Amino acid sequence: MKTAILTGASKGIGLAIAKKLNSMDYKVYGLARSFENTEYSHKNFIKITCDVLNTHELEKIINQIESEEAEINLLINNAGVGFFAPHEQLKIKDIQTMIRINLEAPLILCKLLLRALKKSKGTIISISSVTAKKISTHGCAYASSKAGLSHFSSSLFEEVRKYGVKVAVVHPDITSSNFYDNLDFTYDSDSDAFLLEEQTAEAVEYILSCSENMVVNDITIRPQKNRIKRKSPAGE
């Protein structure tokens, strides 16, 4: 049985990935700020309450996992957050939170786990966003944090490929998930205009199922139709 560490594992795309990995016979250490509303349970889904913004706690948990497991085979950087508005209207704290969760935490986790992943010839998968690849008005900071993650992943692969480590990025477009709960826009109700959380998990499965000599560095998945829906202001 292989061992995976997955951030943002309590809901949405992260939980879908956890379920997929369990079905592939992975033992999954799932990290999230809270599992209070996570109904899914599995003997090989180990829930660990951890805020990736707390670097000291994160390092302690990773060290603990490494002490318990003979081998770490997979790191999936999934935890992410987005705030959208004209850039001048964003709160400074929100900008800092996006950079730290979307970019800083994955960089730190890769640093902490690279030696173990070199030893196991393991895989690093980061869940970025299609916005990393395009101009994103009202989402400049979010897109930049995701673009940074994507560029880091490409550079890291060139650094570690000689050790047998695979590095990949998934760029999902708009997805039917909790990501939009606190935003002023969401996915359209037309089923051709959004992705399912499970489809990003399927992309992860594809990356992990490739032949040993082949690396899929970049997968972009998009719905057939390009459409979003603005939410009505409260009270309307």
**Three state DSSP letters for 98-144:** HHHHHHHHHHHHHHHHHHHHHHHCCEEEEECCHHHHCCCCCCHHHHH
β-bridge mates for residue 7, sequence order: 31
Using an 8 Å Cβ cutoff, are 66 and 165 in contact? no
Q: 């250490």: which residue's tokens?
A: 29
Q: How far is CA 56 from CA 52, 59, 90, 107, 115, in A?
A: 9, 5, 28, 14, 19
Has 142 been annotated as catalytic?
yes
Of 26, 29, 40, 142, the active-site residue reads 142
Indicate which residues carry an active-site annotation: 142
